[in-house]
Amino acid sequence: MKRLVLPLCVAFSLPACGDNHPPAVSPVAPNAAGLAAFETVREVFQHPRCQNCHPAGDAPLQGDDSHVHAQNVLRGKDGHGNIGAECTTCHGPANPPSAFGAHVPPGNVKGWHMPTEDLKLVFVGLTPRALCEQIKDPARNGGKDMPALRTHLDDPLVVWGWAPGFGRAPVSVPRDRFLAAWETWAGAGAPCPGDATASR
Amino acid sequence: MKLDINGVVRDIDAPPDMPLLWVIRDLAGLPGTKFGCGMAQCGACTVHLDGQPVRSCVLPVSAVGARKVTTIEGISSDGSHPVQRAWVEADVVQCGYCQSGQIMTAVALLEKRPDPTDADIDAGMSGIVCRCGTYNRVREAIHLASRLKRGNR
Amino acid sequence: MNRPRDTQISRRGFMRGAGASLAGLVLSFYVPEQIARAAPVQPKALPPPNAFVRIAPDDTVTVVIAHSEMGQGIWTTLAMLIAEELECDWAKVRSEHAPAAAVYIGPAGGIQMTGGSSTTRGEFERYRQVGAAAKDMLLRAAAARWKVPANKLVVEKGVILNGKQKLRYGEVAEAAMKLPPPASVKLKEPQAWKLIGKPMRRLDSLDKITGKATFGIDVTLPDLRTAVILRPPAFGAKLVRFDGAAALKVPGVEKVVPAGDGVAVVAKHFWAAKLGRDALVAEWQKPEGGGVNSDVLLAEYRKKAQEPGTTVASVGDAAAALSSATTRFSSEYELPYLAHAPMEPLNCTVKIDGDRCEIWTGTQFQTVDQKAAATILGTTIDKVQIHTTFLGGGFGRRANPRSDFVAEAVTVAKAAGVPVKVVWTREDDIRGGYYRPAYVHRMQVATDAKGNPSAWDHVVVGQSILKGTPFEGFGVKDGIDNTSVEGLAESPYLERVSAKRVSLHTMKTPVTVLWWRSVGNTHTAFAIEGMIDELAHAAKRDPLEYRLALLDHSPRFAAALKLAAEKAGWEKPAPEGRARGLAVHESFGSIVAEVAEVSITEGRIKVHEVTCAVDCGSAVNPLGVEAQIQGSVVYGLTAALYGKLTLKDGQVQESNFHDYPPLRMFEMPKVSVHIIQSGAPMGGIGEPATAPIAPAVANAVFALTQKRLRSLPLRLA
């Protein structure tokens, strides 16, 4: 069913895409589809695999319950941890082999890290609207426009969310569905939910 | 494969997935690096890769590549490194089992932060577990080592 | 109260100190009968100096340490005792572990062991005697060389002087060694001590900061193999069958052999053995009745606590006094199972050669382990040689009456037919049994007009550590294992309570238990100091003043409390957002008072400062005492804040430091230590500061939040 629906949404949303000024009264269908797609995007961003490195405070989170990372690990100025306890002190260049057991720090070819201290890109605890607006705001997302954001989704650290290593649940939404939802949302003009939407 | 440990390049016959820790201990015969948890929880296995501390218990040996491995044996064998001297002066060790990891981490910390604050020490040293409870003296020794290194005491 | 105070019906009286000293030296006084026969002790004779000290031609003095160095600093302290009398150059003193042999059994008799915070006080005479005897022999050798009377000679830092003539100890050591030891020696008066009582740095530092110190896990031998063992997944589970075919396909794996209750994989190195164990296929029979669940077990304990158990001590009629009292309190305190989790996972290396066997391990229990190995091999203990390595932490885990990790390694080496080092993983350690038992305490207390306790009924529910071990005959009397109740009946808080009873329900479970740093005091101090604090607050009295009033007949306790409180600034309010709590407890002959200053930070208990006052009678090495107090506080605080094992269907759920977390640097309070040299008989120092920290923190949390936490670990919600 989804496969049938998605291209339709994209098709519907295309006209809105080229329009920098959303019409006063949005066409109901594309906006609703865009918002529905954003909900999928949000679900991914606020999944523990993604949000654990995007906390509000300076300590990363860990686990499916997003508890504060053990060992007083902190982001540090550049997001690579503090001296003596850099992220890469424990997180290697790849997920360790399954023979190393569960709960072993995962790894990444890009070098494990968090957003920097002055550009925190918080995912945790934000309302869908606040999250949405932050993602799109170049002043808060590292100067990225929508195409650049889409490119960022192929960043190895982002892709890791779907291959998080032995004993760790991947992001709940399959990656292809996430990317399709992203396209839908972006295609719909990246609409953000209203204020009324409850905090997640 | 070739592995540069403490400046000596060795030929190591190890499966690529073998943790660096066990290569160092069981194949290279350098027992100063310790096994405590096997999951980067305790830091007893800390070594340096090109000067940066890493937990050797969760790093497959194949991931080391050309980087230089330094173990506690490579810091100084006579205890003359300022961090080691500070450790003796502050009478830090108890059972001693975690101290290789403590010292390797302190050495790396002081390289980049020559005059660490208590907050720097809390942030940098909390990955290394000591069940004997030497933390107060570890802290004291790091401050002391900082002064020794800067020739100011 | 018209009942005369002294008509007691106690099996064992409320005699202060009796229990404490018993607990402290229980191990060194006790000789399991079969071991005693095999290892006779020569009574009263001076120790043979040559067994305890060697002097090399280069003047190096090597002190042979009859106990195990596990961090507590005895390599330094015992060496200080010899050096004090020997008058040698401290810079030339080294230490080494003694082999397992009868001569190294403590002067009190018993077994060669380390535990009960007994080393320094137990060896205080013997090691000084050795130093004095060795000096006597060296002087006689020099006197013979110079042909002068020995009493004309003086010694300065290992150099013998005869007017302008000089001889170094190293120059006469060989001749001295051949002389008969003196029949008796005169030890120095305390005023003449140059080392004892001075802060001395450790002798094992250099080895431990350069990676050269050899722990059991570091032992290497030609053709040594490493074994990793698959043990039962649950208490009570039994191996039905196993298939080692897949394990044997792992490169480096050489053998798969049965090992006690499990299966051992023997390989060229640890990693191969570990992978081999992962590949083992084993079928286990589930424990009978489904296995232990700690929640169910503790509920059962709580129920049991409603009724009195076997009487430990009783004075007056506590039940009657309580029922007629107008002001009564009832509280239950609860403590979980705890693992010791020393940093060095358990390990043991064994080489068998015919009827002889060599063992390399970090053990606290040489004689017991010798016996266990001899039994397995069908040989005698004189054929079992133990090389004691450094211990990467002991905390009681490496002193097992059942010799579990040693016996297992001997079994594997025997089955494998090669020298084997058995190495435990951390998961094996956390799940591998021998825990501080879980306990429930229920106290019913009546108070008088001032709020002081007038009746006290104390029910303890928990497992016995000693029952079923070779130590049962000594440590368990009339069904009471002293380690279950130590610190209660003899508590000075109860001394003036006219109606009191302590009783014990000894519970049976399949969970194996063991002493854990400071043993029974870990739970008794938490219960009694928590209850006293409750009474103080109920009486609307300052917790310090309330305690001091109860302790006015116990000057050492009062002095320790006052000193800790004074140094902690008890008189001044704590900084904004913080509060202080205190506790005092005697164990192993030492009294420790602690004041904890806490806050609630981000919903978690944060301990900022701990101020300790310790009366250990006299401190041989104050620097070592400070380290042991700091360490004990950390060990106890870890348990107070985090320590808990959960059993489900007989299986321990926790497995490593991520779910059995240790205290870390950023959580470390500043621990200050104030030593009281009271001149009382020397007490132990390795354990006594462990027990007071949990109640001190819980009492501080109450002062801060008005929330009384009666269960460990301390959880706010």
Report chain A's terminal Cα–Cα distance, integer Å.
27
* Assigned CATH topology for domain B2-70: Ubiquitin-like (UB roll) (3.10.20)
Are residues A187 and A14 in contact, defined by beta-carbon separation less than 8 angstroms?
Answer: yes
Pick the CATH number of C216-287+346-423 from 1.20.1090.10, 3.30.365.10, 3.40.50.450, 3.40.190.290: 3.30.365.10
CA gap B12, B33 in Å, rounded: 17
CB contact under 8 A, A89 and B52: yes
Q: What is the pLDDT of residues C501-548, one digit of tens each?
A: 999 999 999 999 999 999 999 999 999 999 999 999 999 999 999 999
* Beta strands C420-423; C225-230: pairing state: parallel
Say what the alpha-carbon torsion angle C478, C484, C486, C492 is, to the nearest 10 degrees: -100
Distance from CA of A119 to the nearest CA of C (A): 24
Residues C35-54 have a mean pLDDT of 68
User: What CATH code would you report for C49-209?
Assistant: 3.30.365.10
CB contact under 8 A, A84 and B17: no
Q: What is the pLDDT of residues C265-293, one digit of tens each?
A: 999 999 999 999 999 999 999 999 999 99
CB contact under 8 A, B99 and C202: no
Distance from CA of C52 to the nearest CA of A (A): 43
Residue that the structure tokens 């007994």 belong to: C118
CA gap C388, C409 in Å, rounded: 15
DSSP B4-37: EETTEEEE----TTSBHHHIIIIIS--TTS--S-
CA gap C394, C401 in Å, rounded: 14
CB contact under 8 A, B17 and A105: no
Q: Is residue A198 part of a domain?
A: no
B112 in A contact zone (CB under 8 Å): yes
- Structural domain C305-338+435-705, CATH architecture: 2-Layer Sandwich (3.30)
pLDDT at residue C30 in the model: 40
CA gap C591, C683 in Å, rounded: 8
CA gap C77, C82 in Å, rounded: 9
A12 has a pLDDT exceeding 80:
no
Are residues C533 and C581 in contact, defined by beta-carbon separation less than 8 angstroms?
Answer: yes
Q: How confident is the model at residue A14 (pLDDT cuts 50, 70, 90)?
A: very low
C38 has a pLDDT exceeding 70:
no
Distance from CA of C591 to the nearest CA of B (A): 20
Beta-bridge mates of residue B3: B10
Q: Phi-psi category of B117—alpha, beta or left, where left has phi over 0 and alpha has psi -120 to 50?
A: beta
Residue that the structure tokens 């050797």 belong to: B56
B31 has a pLDDT exceeding 90:
yes
pLDDT at residue C203 in the model: 98
Q: What is the pLDDT of residues C569-590, one digit of tens each?
A: 999 999 999 999 999 999 999 9
Which secondary structure element, helix H or strand E, spans residue C299, and what is its range?
helix C294-304
Q: How confident is the model at residue C206 (pLDDT cuts 50, 70, 90)?
A: very high
Instruction: Count the domains in chain A.
Output: 1
Task: Name the residue ranges covered by the structural domains of chain C.
Answer: 49-209, 216-287+346-423, 305-338+435-705
> Which of A72, A99, A103 has the CB atom closest to C658's CB atom?
A103
111-140 in B: which are within 8 Å (CB) of C? 121-123, 125-139
Which residues of chain B does A83 touch, with a Cβ-Cβ cutoff of 8 Å? 108-109, 112-113, 120, 123-124
- DSSP H helix total and E strand total for chain A: 9, 4
Mean pLDDT, chain C, integer: 93
Q: How confident is the model at residue B142 (pLDDT cuts 50, 70, 90)?
A: very high
Which secondary structure element, helix H or strand E, spans residue C652, and what is its range?
strand C651-652
Q: How confident is the model at residue C447 (pLDDT cuts 50, 70, 90)?
A: very high
Q: How confident is the model at residue C14 (pLDDT cuts 50, 70, 90)?
A: low
List the single residue in C with minimal CA-CA distance to A99.
C275
* Beta strands C499-507; C453-463: pairing state: parallel
CA gap C667, B125 in Å, rounded: 11
88-107 in C: which are within 8 Å (CB) of B? none
pLDDT at residue B153 in the model: 58
A111 in B contact zone (CB under 8 Å): no
Instruction: Answer with the residue of higher pLDDT: C109 or C427.
Output: C427
Which residues of chain A does B112 touch, with a Cβ-Cβ cutoff of 8 Å? 83
A63 in B contact zone (CB under 8 Å): no
CB contact under 8 A, C343 and B95: yes
pLDDT at residue C160 in the model: 98
3-state secondary structure (DSSP) of residue C434: coil
Which tokens belong to C245?
């075919």
Q: What is the pLDDT of residues B47-80, one digit of tens each?
A: 999 999 999 999 999 999 999 999 999 999 999 9
Which residues of chain B does A105 touch, with a Cβ-Cβ cutoff of 8 Å? 39-40, 55, 58
CB contact under 8 A, A83 and B113: yes
20-49 in B: which are within 8 Å (CB) of C? 22, 25-27, 29-39, 41-42, 44
Q: Is residue A3 part of a domain?
A: no
C620 has a pLDDT exceeding 50:
yes
List the one residue out of C663, C664, C662, C660 whose CA is nearest residue C427.
Answer: C660
* Assigned CATH topology for domain B82-152: DNA polymerase; domain 1 (1.10.150)
Interface mutation target, options B13, B71, B132, B143, chain C, most CBs of C under 10 Å: B132
**What's the ipTM?**
0.98
Are residues C603 and C701 in contact, defined by beta-carbon separation less than 8 angstroms?
Answer: no
How many CB pairs below 8 A link A and B?
Answer: 80
CA gap A171, A162 in Å, rounded: 6
CA gap B8, B4 in Å, rounded: 5
Q: What count of residues does chain B have?
A: 153
272-291 in C: which are within 8 Å (CB) of A? 275, 278
How many CB pairs below 8 A link A and C?
Answer: 11
Are residues C111 and C368 in contact, defined by beta-carbon separation less than 8 angstroms?
Answer: yes
E strand intervals along A12-168:
61-62, 67-68, 81-82, 85-86
pLDDT at residue C323 in the model: 96
C603 in A contact zone (CB under 8 Å): no
Residues B119-143 have a mean pLDDT of 98
Residues C90-114 have a mean pLDDT of 93
pLDDT at residue A151 in the model: 97
Residue type (1 letter), C394: G
Please give the model's pTM, rounded to 2 decimal places: 0.93
CB contact under 8 A, B124 and A93: no
CA distances from C446 to C302, C315, C504, C530 (A): 21, 15, 20, 15
3-state secondary structure (DSSP) of residue A5: helix
pLDDT at residue C114 in the model: 95
CA gap C47, C101 in Å, rounded: 13
Q: Is residue A152 part of a domain?
A: yes
> Which of A84, A92, A97 has the CB atom closest to B125's CB atom?
A84
Which tokens belong to C79?
């060496």
> Which of B54, B60, B123 has the CB atom closest to A97's CB atom?
B60
CA gap C436, C397 in Å, rounded: 10
141-200 in A: which are within 8 Å (CB) of B? none
Residue that the structure tokens 């990317």 belong to: A179
CA gap C457, C503 in Å, rounded: 8
pLDDT at residue B50 in the model: 98
Distance from CA of B152 to the nearest CA of C (A): 22
A9 has a pLDDT exceeding 50:
no
A25 in B contact zone (CB under 8 Å): no
Task: Name the residue ranges covered by the structural domains of chain B.
Answer: 2-70, 82-152
Interface mutation target, options B111, B126, B130, chain A, most CBs of A under 10 Å: B126
Residue that the structure tokens 């260049």 belong to: A93
Which residues of chain B does C426 touch, with a Cβ-Cβ cutoff of 8 Å? 36-39, 41-42
Q: Is residue A98 part of a domain?
A: yes
CA C268 to mean position of chain CA atoms: 35
Q: What is the pLDDT of residues C695-711, one digit of tens each?
A: 999 999 999 999 999 99
Peptide bond into C437 cis (omega under 30): no
A11 has a pLDDT exceeding 70:
no
pLDDT at residue C283 in the model: 97
Residues C471-485 have a mean pLDDT of 92
pLDDT at residue C663 in the model: 98
Beta-bridge mates of residue C357: C352, C384
Which tokens belong to A100?
């190393």
Residues C333-353 have a mean pLDDT of 98
Q: What is the pLDDT of residues A164-190, one digit of tens each?
A: 999 999 999 999 999 999 999 999 999
CB contact under 8 A, B79 and C209: yes
List the one residue out of C67, C156, C58, C192 whose CA is nearest residue C119.
Answer: C67
pLDDT at residue A29 in the model: 59
Structural domain boundaries enclosing A104: 30-187
59-78 in C: which are within 8 Å (CB) of B? 70-73
Chains that touch B (3 or more CB pairs under 8 A): A, C
CB contact under 8 A, C666 and A72: yes
CB contact under 8 A, C661 and A72: no
Say what the alpha-carbon torsion angle C378, C515, C632, B96 is, to the nearest 10 degrees: 20
Angle between helices C555-568 and C543-550 (to 10 degrees): 160
Q: What is the pLDDT of residues C362-383, one digit of tens each?
A: 999 999 999 999 999 999 999 9
Which residues of chain A does C665 touch, with a Cβ-Cβ cutoff of 8 Å? 72
